[in-house]
Amino acid sequence: MQTPPVKDGPRTNQDIRVPRVLLIDQNGEKQGEMPTSAALEAAEEAGLDLVEIVPNANPPVCKIMDYGKFRFQEQKKKNEARKRQKVVELKEIKLRPNIDTHDYDVKAKAMHRFFEAGDKVKVTLRFRGREMAHPELGMKLLLKVKEDFDEVAKVEYEPKMEGRQMIMILAPR
């Protein structure tokens, strides 16, 4: 035995199974509480659908409207909301403990660009060979980054040593 498909969205016309409803006509005027059959007749007379707007109210609120047009408008609203939505990305900047000033400036410029775009930045400081003997140099560099970007970004993940690298995550303010 196959179950009927589950319908999403508000109930319409014959799907409304309550005995009485509060009716709002196609002009948005409140018609008052009436039997569902009378509301269905009024919708049929207008050549439109009876749509249950507020199913949890007592009695449920139903409106006379063009259901196809209503669904189209809802779809347009969803698409518009999706367009305006910004996905925050995590960009990564890789540094070395003995980075030169000009190289640091280039990386800083890129980080400013990322923050303006609204992205988070993961600063990775990689140690090689004997550099592992001086993690305080790496910490000093990451604290400099933190200080330089204090007005445009906040630290989301404090500088921390993980194996041969030190990591810090900054998020735009």
Mean pLDDT value of segment 118-128: 93
The phi and psi torsions of 80 (rounded to 5 degrees) equal: -65, -40
β-pair partners for 57: none
pLDDT of residue 3: 62
97: buried, middle or exposed (CB in 10 Å: 19+, 13-18, 0-12)?
A: buried
Mean pLDDT score across all residues of the chain? 89
User: Quick one: pLDDT band at residue 70, thresholds 50, 70, 90?
Assistant: confident
Q: Per-residue pLDDT for 99 more than 80? A: yes
Percent share of the chain, pLDDT over 90:
52
**Number of CB atoms found within 10 A of residue 49's CB:** 20
Using one digit for the tens of pLDDT, what is the confidence trace for 25-51? 888 888 889 998 999 998 888 899 999
Q: Per-residue pLDDT for 86 more than 80? A: no
- Higher-pLDDT residue of 3 and 23 is 23
The full DSSP string for the chain is: -PPPPPPPS--BGGG---SEEEEE-TTS-EEEEEEHHHHHHHHHHHTSEEEEEETTSSSPEEEEE-HHHHHHHHHHHHHHHHHH--PPPEEEEEE-TT--HHHHHHHHHHHHHHHHTT-EEEEEEE--GGGGG-HHHHHHHHHHHHHHTTTTEEEEEEEEEETTEEEEEEEE-
The predicted model scores a pTM of 0.56
